[in-house]
């Protein structure tokens, strides 16, 4: 009797490939490859053509990526692990396992990731990928102890990928995310050449001081880990609070530094298409602000 892979079981045990085929059929995957715009090639990604943005939610990665993509040589590949990104990692993996079922095993996680990056890099373009703090554990390897550094960081460091690290005051990014989650409004797209924003969406919120302190500590630890993992020659770190001019444009020195780091001319459009979703101070947004005022530094 043969299993789904066409191989005969040995000693009553199915080979790994057969188990993978059966598992995939249970998930609804057929044996034929579906149409896809993604190529599951084994081409190695070129670290010189792939830029990795790393930052937590509400740290400005979207607006920064969009600014870079105003350059004719830059392509924005959006968030790597966001399920709404049709060219993200998960749609790529879904198509890959149709023809290579064993790709579901964690032993191949980093190989799959390298192939994904390779599929998103064009020969004459620089591709920008967004990796969130919150997604660093989406690629667990087969043998890794709990509470250890996400292996994806060592993978990127060892391959020499250039990293743009966006940091932000942890309290402000947390409050911003809570407001955005409550209002379901994460971005405020502005008309061209406009520097004004729409009024804030959503009502004020109450926060739990203990939870805020705990989440701030985690963010600070991750921020320090990123800067420690990648040497200065491989990384540029920017603070959200210092990348814009008073009229909401990207600062000239920031654009010049990024252009030099990537290795292209500074031909970026400084004007952002995204305005601030939240324009009011935290004192107006947080009903019990007095309980966390000492954290707002």
| Cβ–Cβ < 8 Å for 164, 226 | no
d(CA 174, CA 180): 10
User: Who wins on pLDDT, 195 or 206?
Assistant: 206
Mean pLDDT of all residues in the chain?
A: 83
Question: Is 7 domain-assigned?
Answer: no
Question: Is 66 domain-assigned?
Answer: yes
Question: Is 3 domain-assigned?
Answer: no
Percent of the chain beyond pLDDT 70?
A: 76
Closest CA to 104 of 30, 45, 17: 17
Question: Is 125 domain-assigned?
Answer: yes
Q: What is the rounded end-to-end Cα distance, in angstroms, of the chain?
A: 68
Residue 164 has pLDDT above 90, yes or no: yes
User: Who wins on pLDDT, 75 or 181?
Assistant: 75
The whole domain housing 187 covers: 44-295
| Cβ–Cβ < 8 Å for 24, 3 | no
Question: Is 32 domain-assigned?
Answer: no
Closest CA to 136 of 210, 213, 223: 223
User: Who wins on pLDDT, 180 or 254?
Assistant: 254
**Strand pairing class (235-239; 188-189):** unpaired
Q: What CATH number is associated with residue 128?
A: 3.40.50
Q: What is the pLDDT of residues 16-71, one digit of tens each?
A: 455 555 555 555 554 433 333 444 556 678 898 999 999 999 898 999 999 999 99
Question: Is 221 domain-assigned?
Answer: yes
Confidence of residue 11 (pLDDT cuts 50, 70, 90): very low
Please, where are the H alpha helices in 27-185?
Answer: 61-68, 89-99, 109-119, 151-159, 170-183
Question: Is 211 domain-assigned?
Answer: yes
Question: Is 141 domain-assigned?
Answer: yes
Long-range contacts of 266-270 (CB under 8 A, 24+ apart): 267/70, 267/71, 267/72, 268/67, 268/68, 268/70, 268/71, 269/67, 269/70, 270/67, 270/245
d(CA 123, CA 86): 21
**Total structural domains in the chain?**
1
The encoded tokens of residue 59 equal 């740290």
Which residues, at least 6 apart from 182, have a Cβ–Cβ distance to it below 8 Å? 202, 203, 205
Residue 186 has pLDDT above 70, yes or no: no
Q: What is the pLDDT of residues 230-283, one digit of tens each?
A: 999 999 999 999 999 998 899 999 999 999 999 999 999 999 876 665 677 888
């Amino acid at each position: 009797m043969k299993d789904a892979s066409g191989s005969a079981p040995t000693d009553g045990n199915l080979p790994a490939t057969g188990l993978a085929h059966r598992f995939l059929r249970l998930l609804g995957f057929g044996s034929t490859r579906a149409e896809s715009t993604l190529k599951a090639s084994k081409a190695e990604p070129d670290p010189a053509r792939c830029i990795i943005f790393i930052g937590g939610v509400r740290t400005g990665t979207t607006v920064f990526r969009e600014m870079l993509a105003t350059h004719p040589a830059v392509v924005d590949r959006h968030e790597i692990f966001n399920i709404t990104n049709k060219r993200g990692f998960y749609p790529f993996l879904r198509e890959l396992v149709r023809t290579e079922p064993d790709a579901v095993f964690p032993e191949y996680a980093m190989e799959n990731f390298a192939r994904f990056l390779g599929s998103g890099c064009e020969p004459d373009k620089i591709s920008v990928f967004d990796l969130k703090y919150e997604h660093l554990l989406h690629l667990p390897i087969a043998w890794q102890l709990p509470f250890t550094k996400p292996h994806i960081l060592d993978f990127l460091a060892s391959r020499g990928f250039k990293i743009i690290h966006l940091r932000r005051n942890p309290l402000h990014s947390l409050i911003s995310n809570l407001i955005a989650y409550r209002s379901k409004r994460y971005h405020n797209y502005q008309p061209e050449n406009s520097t004004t924003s729409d009024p804030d969406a959503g009502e004020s919120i109450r926060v739990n001081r203990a939870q805020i302190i705990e989440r701030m500590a985690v963010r600070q630890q991750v921020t320090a880990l990123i800067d420690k993992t990648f040497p200065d020659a491989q990384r540029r770190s920017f603070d959200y609070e210092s990348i814009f001019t008073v009229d909401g444009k990207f600062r000239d020195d920031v654009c010049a530094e990024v252009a030099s780091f990537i290795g292209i001319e500074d031909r970026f459009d400084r004007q952002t298409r995204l305005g601030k979703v939240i324009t009011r101070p935290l004192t107006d947004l947080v009903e019990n602000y007095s309980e966390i005022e000492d954290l707002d530094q």
